[in-house]
């Protein structure tokens, strides 16, 4: 907790915080610049989406996150520049899915497909194993990239 009582502060040793180029997350990067984890800067509460404002200090070693008290929702017919457009949200969703897949989300699809495949293919055909693999991929990507579900939520909020 930061001294102001309304912000969260984190300090790293051996890694650094860096705002993602999309501006929708803060990455923890190692000395070679490889992203170790991404922290989303959007969070849902009470049916609205709020933004966390990052403040990075000490050469990237300290991060302070301050929640905005005003939701990103705006009146119909206007566009909140803090809220991603559908295209921006879609690109972020695809990026977060790729990160989750590469980090190990493929294992969820493989395990679910392998379990459901032999059992169901003999009974109902190949639709069930494909559905199980898709659900396993979604669960696996969500497990290996915590930014995936907020990206899904942000994309769905653009409709």
Would you state the pLDDT for residue 76? 44
Phi, psi angles (nearest 5°) of residue 37: -160, 150
Mean pLDDT of 110-126: 66
Q: Which of these ranges, 63-67, 86-90, 119-123, 151-155, has the smallest mean pLDDT?
A: 119-123
**Maximum CA pair distance of the chain?**
62
Q: What is the mean pLDDT of residues 7-17?
A: 88
Question: What does the alpha-carbon distance between residue 159 and residue 155 come to, in Å, rounded to a whole number?
Answer: 8
* Helix intervals (H) in 33-126: 86-100, 106-121
């Amino acid at each position: 907790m930061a001294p102001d009582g309304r912000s969260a502060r984190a300090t790293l040793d051996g890694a650094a915080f860096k705002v993602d180029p999309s501006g929708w997350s803060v990455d923890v990067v190692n000395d070679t610049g490889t992203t170790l984890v991404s922290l989303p800067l959007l969070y849902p509460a009470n049916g609205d989406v709020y933004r966390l404002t990052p403040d990075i200090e000490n050469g990237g070693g300290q991060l302070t996150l301050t929640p905005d008290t005003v939701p990103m929702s705006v009146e119909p017919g206007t566009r909140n520049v803090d809220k991603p457009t559908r295209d921006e949200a879609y690109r972020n969703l695809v990026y977060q899915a790729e990160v989750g897949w590469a980090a190990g989300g493929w294992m969820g699809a493989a395990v679910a497909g392998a379990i459901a495949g032999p059992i169901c293919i003999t009974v109902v055909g190949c639709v069930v194993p494909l559905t199980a693999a898709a659900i396993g991929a979604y669960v696996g990507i969500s497990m290996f990239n915590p930014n995936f579900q907020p990206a899904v939520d942000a994309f769905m909020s653009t409709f």
